[in-house]
Amino acid sequence: MTASPKPEAVARDEYEGLVTELVATYERPYRALLLAGVVIFLAFGLREIAIYGDRAGPVLLMRGGFAAGLLLLALLARRFRGEAALWLGVAYLGLFATGICATAALSPNGWVMHALAGLSMLVVAFGPLWPRPRLFVAGTVALLLPPLAMLWLIAAPGPTWLDYVSYLSVAACVAYLLFRLSQGLSIRDYRLRRELLRRADSDALTGVLNRAGWGSRAEQLMDVARQSALPLVMLYLDLDHFKQVNDRYGHATGDEVLERAALAIRSTLREQDLVARLGGEEFVVMLPGASIEQALAVAERIRLRVSEANAAVRITLSGGLAAWDRVESLDDLMHRADLAMIEAKRAGRNRVVAAD
Ligand SMILES: Nc1nc2c(ncn2[C@@H]2O[C@H](COP(=O)(O)OP(=O)(O)OP(=O)(O)O)[C@@H](O)[C@H]2O)c(=O)[nH]1
């Protein structure tokens, strides 16, 4: 069946494919950047300990904690792609940036550097949460400020070049996380778009295609049948006296009957068949590659299964079927199947009639 809920599975496959493609393209250089950043950052910490032996504890805690946090985040981002990675990244960068901003006040030598790095990271971290994406772009630009500040500081007396390498390594790590964040964002957009498309095409109650989704897919199947010279049969199905079910058992029970009917129809069809609910208690089915005899057998099976599934309310189904003459339009084919269904109603309901 091409009908829902299959589109969800298709969306998931496409989404996974997209992620794999993205990761394959960018993962390696960014991972190398992250590892290099963490190693340099830690090496600089060892140098700091050698110089300021008395500050070994806080230095180890700060540098080790940050490096471990980044690595853990990278691992989690691998494990929980998309949104979870996004929120983790935002939270972590936000925390870290706040720490750097606080350090700026205590750092006699590199306070400009600390302040810029902290502020730019704050913008980058919380930019994605802002309704205006321009802020996110501004944050990315702001990330370029620390290296610029380094160039400026290199010319001034104070920290050595090793300090700047250390800060650059932070920028490298952040670049990796940015990559992950943007990946999470684009995946979230992609999923939302897919979900909206899926909802626009399917019937909210039964999950099968609605009228909008039916038209384009049915035309596609007809195109394929035209090119491959395969036969094609159309079924028009309508529950009998459905109004009485609503009147007797209530609208909620009526809805359940429709859901069970859709399930019974879908379970009878093959992967390549198409089913839609056109509205009310009317369903249409397209059977590509089926002969009229096979289609009659399928329609009979559907009729029995729909009744069995709704035995408690004793509902029956009338169906009409029409074999495509390879010339007529979709509307004309549906009309002929509809007329056959009306004929089935006239003949006493609970039966399937084939159009001439
Ligand atoms: N529960 C429920 N009822 C619906 C829905 N859509 C349409 N209906 C009802 O379906 C009923 C259709 O009634 P009719 O068109 O008279 O058809 P019928 O009673 O099945 O009679 P025949 O088709 O002649 O056998 C109406 O009472 C609608 O209110 C829905 O989504 N849920």
The residue ranges of every structural domain in the chain are: 6-200, 211-354
Mutate to test the pocket of ligand 1, among 281, 306, 351 (most ligand atoms within 8 A of CB): 281
> Which of 243, 253, 278, 346 has the most ligand 1 atoms within 8 A of CB, as the residue to mutate?
243
69-73, 202-206, 256-260: least confidently modelled range:
69-73
d(CA 167, CA 146): 8
E strands, 142-281, where? 232-239, 274-279
Query: Rg of the Cα trace of the chain?
Result: 32
- The predicted pLDDT at position 216 comes to 85
Ligand 1 centroid to Cα of residue 240, in Å, is: 9
pLDDT score of 163 more than 70: no
Q: Is 241 touching ligand 1 by the criterion CB < 6 Å?
A: yes
Q: Is 274:217 a contact under the CB 8 Å cutoff?
A: yes
Tell me what the pLDDT averaged over the chain comes to.
76
Domain at 211-354: CATH architecture: 2-Layer Sandwich (3.30)
The structure's pTM equals: 0.55
> Does residue 253 carry a pLDDT above 60?
yes
The predicted-structure confidence for 275-292, as pLDDT tens digits, reads as follows: 999 999 999 999 999 999
Span 126-151, average pLDDT: 55
Q: What is the ipTM of this complex?
A: 0.96
d(CA 251, ligand 1 centre) in Å: 10
Mean pLDDT of 309-330: 95
Q: Ligand 1 centre from 282 Cα, in Å?
A: 9
Strand 352-354 to 317-323 pairing: parallel
Confidence of residue 308 (pLDDT cuts 50, 70, 90): very high
Q: Mean pLDDT throughout 192-210?
A: 81
